[in-house]
Structure 1
Amino acid sequence: MTTYAIGDIQGCQQQLTALLQRIYETSPSPRLIFVGDLVNRGPHSLATLRNIRALGDTASVVLGNHDLHLLAVANGIRKPHRSDTLDDILNAEDRDELLDWLRRQPLALLENGHLFVHAGVVPQWTAQQAVDLAHEVETALRGPDWVEFLRTMYGNAPARWDDALEGADRLRCIVNALTRLRFCTADGTMEMLSKGVETVLPGYMPWFDVPGRKTEDVTVVAGHWSTLGLMMRPNLLTLDTGCLWGGKLTAVRLEDRASIQVDCPQYQTPGTM
């Protein structure tokens, strides 16, 4: 079975349909792995969520920051942003079923030498540690107190991972690394405000450029960072190619790294959110 990893969709359902059609033309029964941010800011978040859920066991998802944001907005924990396009989900008859399905998805997957996350991994974590720590968050999201977990999820502190972290601080640090991380220092201190190298503070670098990061023995597959575009290194694939911003929606076949891309209209303008 061939496996395709698919970048951030963010509610661009028409482009997802076109991309899947092209995938099925070459691989009739593929496995699909979505690297998060299924919804928000694009025009068809409800249809996107329904269609990915309907793929059943042929598809896996890791949650992104916009997916978690949807859960928080739906539970009154966060106010919608001006650029949000979540009303169709929030008002849908099957809203509760969709949100229940979403909160049961993982934050990290490790399969066949590939570690799938939405944003990144702090350099001190091994691939297996990332999966184990993600499972702690997944347990909270799937448990009876999941709404309370969402209440404590937001914030930029603690900025550095420590094995001794406990409670909400521990889970928040894990969430930030897996769903928001772009830059960190060599010791893993995360910086959450900068989106480009021109604005980041001295001493910070893209998480994947930290020398000796402990995930160098696997290929990390991530999205989240649209200005990177499609990046292929021996131990890294980045798949957010700016579909929402008038770029492309991208899938990569992991067996040979062949890529399929679909052009997208510009649904949002950077800097207007």
Structure 2
Amino acid sequence: MARYLVGDIQGCAAPLKQALKQINFDAKFDELWCVGDIIGRGPSPLECLELIRDMGTATKMVLGNHDLNLLAVLSGVREANPNDRLDTVVNLPESEKREWIDWLVQHPLLIRSEDNLIMTHAGIYPWWSVSEAESYAKEVSEALQQAWRSNKLDKFLVAMYGNEPTQWSTSLEGMDRIRFFINVFTRMRFCDLSGHLNFSVKQSPDDCNVPAHLKPWFELWDVSEHTLVFGHWAALMGKTLRDDVIGLDTGCVWGEYLTVMRWPDGHRIKVRAAG
């Protein structure tokens, strides 16, 4: 069995299919771990969703910010942004939309393997331990699934949006607490040394316009026996300058390429974006 880790697909079905062909992926024997943002801005969102779903237990996936946005759109909480190109999903019959909601809410915000591999979409708050991060991710999943089961998903998703609070405190409660967790796992890029998240700066850390007080979250993450894999930050093009923190978003939807990495040897293939 081989385990492959794939970066942000974002509705780009053609490079995903080409990558799976190049690695001779066999769903009977191999695993594909998806770093989230299966859809969003790419031309083939429904095809990507179906590809991942139809692989069944051969795939593991964490939710990204675009996946949560799709939940909000399918639930009627948000209007689809034309730039997200979600028409093929949004125009499905209501019964099929509910099936996709049910499928999406089953996916976690963090996956951890027995061989010390951790995957989240955006990263882990540098002031948390791995066990704390696991616990907080589970807390969100349980709240999300409970909201779906109790027909309160729309209220949950409305309350999910927002940038506050920007700093972790054990005193956080209710949706403030849940919102902070979601923002860490799906939106985080930069933070300051006091632990405040910044959501407005999205460029590469090498950019001279990045304020000096902001640091990429992974620069503040302690070295451990774990390898942490994330996506979300296309401007990095995978560059973290660390062997134990691996970025897999290499801007496929922006015309760059889709990266697939084999675990644990780290062999990577890169497939150019279609067109």
- How is 1:1-273 mapped onto 2 (pairs within 5 angstroms)? 1-24=1-24, 29-93=29-93, 94-111=96-113, 112-143=115-146, 144=150, 145-196=152-203, 197=205, 198=207, 199-210=209-220, 213-214=221-222, 216-231=224-239, 233-265=242-274
Name the CA distance, whole Å, in 1 between partners of 2:186 and 2:223.
16
Q: Residue deviations 1:142-196, cap 9 Å, x none? A: 1123322111001110001111110010000000000000001123210011012
Name the CA distance, whole Å, in 2 between partners of 1:218 and 1:8.
21
CA 1:162–1:217: 2 relative to 1, 3 Å: farther
Q: TM-score, normalised by structure 2?
A: 0.91
CA 1:64–1:91: 2 relative to 1, 3 Å: same
Cα root mean square deviation, aligned: 1.7
**Gapped regions of structure 2 (runs ≥ 5):** none
What amino acid is aligned across from residue 165 of structure 2 in structure 1? P
Name the CA distance, whole Å, in 1 between partners of 2:2 and 2:189.
29
What amino acid is aligned across from residue 130 of structure 1 in structure 2? A
Residue 271 of structure 1 corresponds to none
Q: Residue deviations 1:175-225, cap 9 Å, x none? A: 000000000112321001101233433311000011xx3464311100001
What amino acid is aligned across from residue 194 of structure 2 in structure 1? D
Identity of aligned residues (%): 39
> Is this contact kept in 2: 1:118–1:178, CA < 8 A?
yes
**Gapped regions of structure 1 (runs ≥ 5):** 267-273
**Count of aligned positions:** 264
CA 1:27–1:60: 2 relative to 1, 3 Å: closer
Flag as ranges the 4+ runs of structure 1 deviating above 3 A.
25-28, 197-200, 214-217
Name the CA distance, whole Å, in 1 between partners of 2:138 and 2:101.
19
Name the CA distance, whole Å, in 1 between partners of 2:27 and 2:244.
24
Q: Residue deviations 1:14-65, cap 9 Å, x none? A: 1111111112269972111000000111000001101101111111000000
